[in-house]
Amino acid sequence: MPIVDIHTHIYPPAYISLLKSRTTVPYIRTFPDAPNSPRLIILPGENDPATPSTSRGRPIGPEYHDIAAKIDFMDTHKINISVISLANPWLDFLPESEAAETARRINDDINDLCSKYPGRLYAFGTLPLSGSTGEVIAEIERLKSLKYMRGIIMGTSGLGRGLDDLSLDPIYAALQSTCTLIFLHPHYGLPLSVYGPRASEYGHVLPLALGFPLETTIAVTRMLLSGVWDRFQNLNVLIAHSGGTLPFLAGRIESCVAHDGFLKSEGRGEGGRRAVWDVLKKNIYLDAVIYSKVGLKAAVDASGPDRLLFGTDHPFFPPLEKGAEEWASVNTNYQAINEAFGDEEAAKGVLGGNAIRILKLNNE
Ligand code: URA
Ligand code: ZN
C-alpha cells in the first residue's frame, strides 16, 4: 500500500515573488548582519524588533519552494504520493482587488508543479477569500477543472470574521455542491498576551504547540455551535494536527452545550443541532500529525480509523542538526502510527489507503 502525505506545503514561485516584494508580515527579507540568508517571517509576533534579526521567523531554503526538493524529501522518507498545499497565511492578506487573479495564478502554478511528476503529486488549491463572494465561488468551480486538485486549504479567518460567519454560507454551499474538501489549517494562533511576558524566551514552542491547535479547536467549535453542519450536512473538512484538541474536548463541548441555559432558551441546546460526535464521524477527517500514540488514539476514537490520514507538515520542523538526511518530525509520526496500530489493516489505511480512497488519488 503506497504511503501518502496529505499535509505537506509549498510556496510556489509566484508566491515567493509576492513575499519578496512585501515589507510587512508576511514577507521574506534579509537582514544587514546576514545579507545572504533570507528569512521567512509569517506568524504574528515573529517580527518583534526585540528579537535578534537572525532568529526572526525562519531561514528559507529550497525546501520551501523547489518541487525537486519536495520529491527528494518524499524519496528519503518512502512517501509515494504527496498532496501539496500552499502554506500559511495563504492569500488572507491580499487586497480585494488582487485576490482572485493571484489565486488563479498560484493554483495554476501548483497544478503545473503536480503535472511534472505524474502519479506522485496532487494538491489542495487556495481561495481568494479577501475577494468578492462571486470570485471565491468562481475559483471553487474553476478548481474542479484543474487535473490535480483534490480540495482547498484554508485558515480559520474565513472572510475576516471566522468560520461561523453567516456570510460564508454561499461559499459553504459551493464547496458542498462541488464536493470540495476543506483542509482546515491554523495560522493566527492565540492573542500573544496569553503567552505571557516571558514568551520570547521559549522560541516558537507556545504558538506552535498550543496556539495552533487551540486556534483550530475554537474555529471548528464555532462552526459546530453556529450550525454549519446542520445547514450543510455533506460539507467535509480535513482538520490539521489531528483536529487540534477537538477529539479530546468533544465530550466537554457537548456537556457545556447541554448545560447552557441560554442555548436551551433559544432552542439551540442539546438535541437542537447535530452532536459533535456525529459530525466527527461523518464530516470530519483528521490528519495524523500529532507526534504521539496518545493523540492518535484520541483521533481514531473520535473519528474512526478510516478517517485518519498520514502527514508530515514538510517543510516545517526540519532537523536542527546540519546534514541530517531523515527528519525526526516525520519519523516520530511514523513511529506513533506504528505504536498505535502495529501491523493492523488500520495502519495501511492511515499511511495511504484512506487518502487514496477519500481523495480519489488513483484516477489520474
Ligand atoms: N509553522 C507554520 O507556520 N505552518 C505550518 O504549517 C507549520 C509550522
Ligand atoms: Zn501545516
Would you say residue 346 lies in a domain? yes
3-state secondary structure 214-267: HHHHHHHHHHHHCCHHHHCCCCCEEECHHHCCHHHHHHHHHHHHHCCHHHHHCC
Q: How many angstroms does the Cα of residue 64 sit away from the middle of ligand 2?
A: 12
Q: How many angstroms does the Cα of residue 212 sit away from the middle of ligand 2?
A: 10
Q: Name the residue of 5, 39, 84, 187 to mutate for ligand 1: max ligand atoms within 8 A of Cβ.
A: 187
Q: Name the residue of 316, 329, 330 to mutate for ligand 1: max ligand atoms within 8 A of Cβ.
A: 316
Q: How many angstroms does the Cα of residue 256 sit away from the middle of ligand 2?
A: 30
Ligand 1 atom nearest residue 43's Cα: 3
Would you say residue 294 lies in a domain? yes
Q: How many angstroms does the Cα of residue 316 sit away from the middle of ligand 1?
A: 6
Residue 282 has a pLDDT of 98
Ligand 1 in reach of 316 Cβ (< 6 A): yes
Would you say residue 364 lies in a domain? no
ipTM: 0.95
Count the Cβ atoms, other than its own, within 10 Å of residue 341: 22
Q: Which ligand is nearest to the CA of 58?
A: 1
Ligand 1 in reach of 87 Cβ (< 6 A): yes
Cell of 85: 498545499
For the chain, the domain total comes to 1
Cell of 55: 532568529
Place of cell 475577494: 131
CATH code for the domain of 25: 3.20.20.140
Q: If you take atom 7 of ligand 1, which residue's CA is the nearest one?
A: 316
- What is the full per-residue pLDDT of the chain (364 aa) written as tens digits? 899 999 999 999 999 999 999 999 999 999 888 899 999 999 878 887 777 777 788 999 999 999 999 999 999 999 999 999 999 999 999 999 999 999 999 999 999 999 999 999 999 999 999 999 999 999 999 999 999 999 999 999 999 999 999 999 999 999 999 999 999 999 999 999 999 999 989 989 999 999 999 999 999 999 999 999 999 999 999 999 999 999 999 999 999 999 999 999 998 888 888 999 999 999 999 999 999 999 999 999 999 999 999 999 999 999 999 889 999 999 999 999 999 998 889 999 999 999 999 999 986 5
Q: How many angstroms does the Cα of residue 213 sit away from the middle of ligand 2?
A: 11
| CA neighbor of 104 nearest in space, from 67, 141, 68 | 141
Residue 343 has a pLDDT of 80
Q: How many angstroms does the Cα of residue 317 sit away from the middle of ligand 1?
A: 8
Q: Which ligand is nearest to the CA of 187?
A: 1
Q: How many angstroms does the Cα of residue 282 sit away from the middle of ligand 2?
A: 23
Ligand 1 in reach of 313 Cβ (< 6 A): yes
Q: How many angstroms does the Cα of residue 313 sit away from the middle of ligand 1?
A: 7
Residue 363 has a pLDDT of 62
| Residue span of the structural domain in which 92 resides | 4-359
With beta carbons less than 8 A apart as the criterion, state whether 187 and 218 touch. Answer: no
Q: If you take atom 8 of ligand 1, which residue's CA is the nearest one?
A: 316
Residue 200 has a pLDDT of 86
Residue 364 has a pLDDT of 57
Q: Name the residue of 10, 47, 86, 208 to mutate for ligand 1: max ligand atoms within 8 A of Cβ.
A: 208
For residues 348, 352, 358, 362, the Cα torsion angle rounded to the nearest 10 degrees is -120
CA 257 to chain centre: 27
Cα–Cα distances (Å) from 181 to 91, 284, 335, in that order, read 18, 10, 28
Q: Name the residue of 9, 10, 46, 205 to mutate for ligand 1: max ligand atoms within 8 A of Cβ.
A: 9
Cell of 216: 483550530
Would you say residue 161 lies in a domain? yes
